[in-house]
Structure 1
């Protein structure tokens, strides 16, 4: 557990089915990186992706980079943010197909009752994504709150 500070981000958004996420994230991060480069804006951290389930099995996804100050929306790249507050962070360093096990570890910890999830988790890619791969050092970050006794 740790405290996460509020972070302004630059992202690309999309409505997808979960199976598209693996291919979409690297291309979205590449598009945001190119957008920032053309404007002389340096990311302040590693790329990330966050998504929210929608009815009908779709997800609303965003992928991009943290930035020092909020950006103006332009074309396919929009401003967003990651919330401040306590988070549970779990490292995933196995092959991609085993990432569900890391999410199960987060869920198992939450089921102990020590904390409650507050919003959607996100993945931070500590290996810079290529156009076809997000890497193997992935940090899963889940915002949490602590129940009052």
Structure 2
């Protein structure tokens, strides 16, 4: 599987999120519940969602991932239930758009990770993916963003 991979500079984005934990099998359920809760909290506070839903992946073990999921928003959010304010960082990132079923996104992550190494970059922060299409789309698009920095010349292969 070959994807077009680019390096982009991102600005910080305010977000509204729920932090949770999910296994491979529970991710769809956890994300669906999370996105609904975040959308309600943003609407309740008169805010606007300004971009697609995302999931940012943290520590992983055999049981699953620490997860921060939600939406970028236009104004600060007050904590409401499990929903809390956060942000996506201003950073340089590797960008890849995967088109296809969600069960094939892992291959795209592997490709992006290999690309980082082959092109003299190292990951710097927790990566995230944005879901560019509504549920039920046959070939959904998933945007992968991996914060990175150029490796020092002495560390390059």
TM-score by length of 2: 0.84
Which has more radius of gyration? 2
Which deviates the most, 96-105 or 1-10? 96-105
CA RMSD, Structure 1 to Structure 2 (Å): 1.9
1:107 aligns with 2:113: yes
1:39 aligns with 2:15: no
Distance 2:119 2:60 in 1: 26
Residues 54 and 131 in structure 2, CA contact (< 8 A), matched pair in contact too: yes
Residues 42 and 77 in structure 2, CA contact (< 8 A), matched pair in contact too: no
Which deviates the most, 81-90 or 112-121? 112-121
Structure 2: 5+ residue stretches without partners: 1-6
1:93 aligns with 2:110: no
Counterpart for residue 147 of structure 1: 151
Count of residue pairs the alignment pairs up = 146
Structure 1: 5+ residue stretches without partners: none
Residues 91 and 137 in structure 1, CA contact (< 8 A), matched pair in contact too: yes
Distance 2:135 2:129 in 1: 12
1:127, distance to aligned residue in structure 2 (A): 1.1
Distance 2:117 2:68 in 1: 27
TM-score by length of 1: 0.88
Residues 13 and 88 in structure 2, CA contact (< 8 A), matched pair in contact too: yes
